[in-house]
């Protein structure tokens, strides 16, 4: 068998993994790979304008498609520029493989030009990472990287490839299987524990399902919906879990936590049986931990055993894939019609109480006289196709989207939850649009965070990606300003975006379209126009500058201590 270079082996390995799209940016240390990829017509390389944008695009691609996202960058500053994107994917458990170039192995540790300890730098924010020291190891390591990224609790993996490894010769053989000593994710839940969980649920009077992003990552939304409807148990989700349960279902309570609904937060506070599925009890959800679900027996279903009782002590844990565990639960429930009917009768007063909370204290905002951001998001939801993919930046725009854009299916909502990365939404939308060229993809942005990666306008225009960017422009770093208003006596220290670009002219300068909206009566027409236009469109909504996100739970307070409008 003829030997090939490491760079050629790299491309062959991507083919073996079924990779069709790679996001990245070239540089000296990866020129050998870029020379080969030019002839790899079955793999589309998307040239972003910044390495952070490349990883966010790969992340958005992965969240929307369920496939592993791939990024390729050069050594030194190219690799270090990926760290924010890698940390974003790590916090939200997103399967991404990042390939970075490295100086030749003989130069490592010598402070060579564009050398950085990429493995050391990224070790805290990757699921695993590799430095390839021998070209013979390259196919195996790439196989392992994709396996680790996509199995168990997903996450980013980095593979650092020195220049001499790319040039070395190897007889290409791609492994069929992976065996990693000590890495064996548990996919099936303990059947006895599942029976104990069901016994607890069937005896409860005020049960609530609290679902997280794990439900979406495990493609278990259908099982969650079936289980909740079968048992008539209300459902709330985390920010990452939005879309995991249909928002138009009567059992839906809305998102819980710091900016959650009154009904969801009160339900979790009053429940006697909290069923956590694919969630990690993040501090933005729990608030004051010792007052979180104080009356509840807490059930926790998660594939990651290190998440069990990490933040909140649970009573009945099950380690396993969410989908598998819920399928086993549904199987156990078959033939238990009498017990199910008894539960439904028992919870009827509880459901009625929750309906009162939803009716009496819904999400609401003062319509005012100017453009309200909540109204803009409601109009986008009304006019966008049902399968539109929505990304957000981070801040008020993100929370208003979570509250007012009703998601009825999974993988339609892309946002940075754990790390809260400003600048995430636009490149993530680009990645989603690459994955689904025929779908509507919208980034709901703030005027501050859109500027973090606004250079990716060039990427959208170059590849004719018709991403629609809806900018909630309030002239502030809005969420920080809101905290300053509430907790720092209104001292707006460096949160005013007094100098910002003309987003319409900026979009046009890149070859995109721009629309400015300053009157509430023009909002609907502007959204319609943007959605109907070809190519990338920026819509600059000049909203009321000091609108706040409510409800809000102050930091460190219990989640039933809400500031309402």
The reply to whether 203 belongs to the active site is no
Could you tell me the two tokens for 108?
């490592």
CB within 8 Å of 222: residues ≥ 6 apart: none
Alpha-carbon gap, residue 296 to 315, rounded angstroms: 9
Catalytic residue among 20, 114, 288, 336: 114
Catalytic residue among 127, 143, 163, 379: 163
The reply to whether 114 belongs to the active site is yes
CA atoms within 13 Å, Cβ hemisphere of 193:
14
Asked if residue 298 has a cis previous peptide bond (ω within 30° of 0), the answer is: no
CB within 8 Å of 199: residues ≥ 6 apart: none
Alpha-carbon gap, residue 86 to 536, rounded angstroms: 26
Rounded to the nearest 10°, the torsion over CA 339, 238, 412, 305 is -80
User: Strand, helix or coil at 420?
Assistant: coil
Could you tell me the two tokens for 73?
């960058």
Alpha-carbon gap, residue 420 to 415, rounded angstroms: 8
User: Strand, helix or coil at 533?
Assistant: coil
Catalytic residue among 3, 113, 313, 331: 113
Concatenated DSSP letters of 391-419:
EE-SSHHHHHHHHHS---STTSEE---SS
**Contact at 8 Å (CB) between 180 and 126?**
no
The reply to whether 329 belongs to the active site is no
Alpha-carbon gap, residue 300 to 28, rounded angstroms: 48
- Cα 219 versus chain centre, distance: 14
Task: Enumerate the H helices of 204-292 as residue ranges.
Answer: 213-217, 221-231, 262-270, 283-286
Catalytic residue among 240, 452, 479, 552: 479
Alpha-carbon gap, residue 549 to 565, rounded angstroms: 9
Catalytic residue among 10, 12, 17, 51: 51
The reply to whether 113 belongs to the active site is yes
**Contact at 8 Å (CB) between 547 and 474?**
yes
The reply to whether 361 belongs to the active site is no
| DSSP code of residue 490 | T
Q: Which residues are catalytic?
A: 51, 113-114, 163, 479
């Amino acid at each position: 068998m003829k030997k090939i270079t490491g760079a050629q082996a790299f491309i062959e390995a991507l083919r073996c993994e079924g990779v069709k799209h790679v996001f990245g940016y070239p540089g000296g240390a990866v020129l050998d790979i870029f020379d080969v990829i030019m002839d790899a017509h079955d793999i589309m390389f998307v040239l972003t304008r910044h390495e952070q944008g490349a990883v966010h695009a790969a992340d958005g691609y992965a969240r929307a498609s369920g496939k592993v996202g791939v990024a390729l960058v050069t050594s030194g500053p190219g690799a270090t520029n990926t760290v924010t994107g890698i940390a974003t994917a790590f916090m939200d458990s997103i399967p991404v493989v990042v390939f970075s170039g490295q100086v030749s192995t003989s130069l490592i540790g010598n402070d060579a030009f564009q050398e950085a300890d990429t493995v050391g730098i990224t070790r805290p924010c990757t699921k695993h990472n590799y430095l390839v020291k021998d070209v013979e190891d390259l196919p195996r390591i790439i196989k392992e990287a994709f396996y680790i990224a996509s199995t168990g609790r997903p996450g980013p993996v980095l593979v650092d490839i020195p220049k001499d490894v790319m040039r070395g010769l190897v007889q290409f053989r791609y492994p069929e299987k992976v065996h990693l000593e000590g890495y064996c994710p548990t996919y099936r839940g303990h059947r006895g524990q599942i029976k104990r969980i069901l016994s607890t649920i069937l005896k409860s009077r005020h049960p609530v399902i609290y679902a997280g992003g794990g439900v979406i990552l495990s493609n278990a939304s259908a099982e969650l919906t079936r289980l909740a409807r079968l048992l008539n148990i209300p459902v709330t989700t985390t920010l990452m879990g939005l879309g995991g349960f249909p928002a138009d279902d009567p059992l839906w309570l809305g998102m819980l936590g710091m900016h959650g609904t009154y009904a969801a937060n009160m339900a979790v506070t009053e429940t006697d049986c909290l069923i956590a599925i694919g969630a990690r009890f993040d501090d933005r959800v729990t608030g004051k931990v010792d007052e979180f679900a104080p009356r509840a027996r807490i059930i926790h279903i998660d594939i990651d055993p290190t998440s069990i009782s990490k933040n909140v002590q649970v009573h009945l844990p099950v380690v396993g894939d969410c989908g598998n565990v819920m399928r086993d639960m549904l199987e156990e429930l078959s033939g238990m019609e009498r017990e199910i009917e008894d539960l439904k009768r028992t919870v009827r007063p509880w459901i009625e109480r929750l309906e009162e909370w939803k009716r009496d204290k819904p999400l609401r905002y003062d319509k005012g006289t100017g453009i309200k951001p909540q109204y803009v998001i409601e109009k986008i939801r009304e006019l966008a196709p049902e399968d539109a993919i929505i990304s957000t930046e981070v801040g008020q725009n993100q929370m208003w989207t979570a509250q007012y854009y009703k998601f009825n299916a999974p993988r339609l909502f892309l946002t940075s939850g754990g790390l809260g990365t400003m600048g995430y939404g636009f490149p993530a939308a680009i990645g989603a649009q690459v994955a689904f060229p025929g779908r509507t993809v919208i980034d709901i942005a703030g005027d501050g965070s859109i500027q973090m990666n606004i250079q990716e306008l060039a990427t959208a225009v170059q590849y004719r990606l018709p991403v629609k960017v809806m900018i909630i422009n309030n002239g502030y770093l809005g969420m920080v300003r809101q905290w300053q208003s509430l907790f720092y006596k209104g001292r707006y220290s460096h949160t005013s975006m007094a100098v910002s670009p003309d987003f319409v002219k900026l979009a046009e300068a890149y070859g995109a379209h721009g629309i400015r909206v300053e009157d509430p009566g023009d909002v609907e027409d502007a959204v319609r126009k943007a959605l109907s236009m070809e190519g990338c469109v920026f819509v600059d909504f000049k909203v009321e500058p000091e609108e706040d996100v409510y409800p809000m739970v102050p930091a460190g307070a219990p989640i039933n201590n809400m500031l309402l409008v």
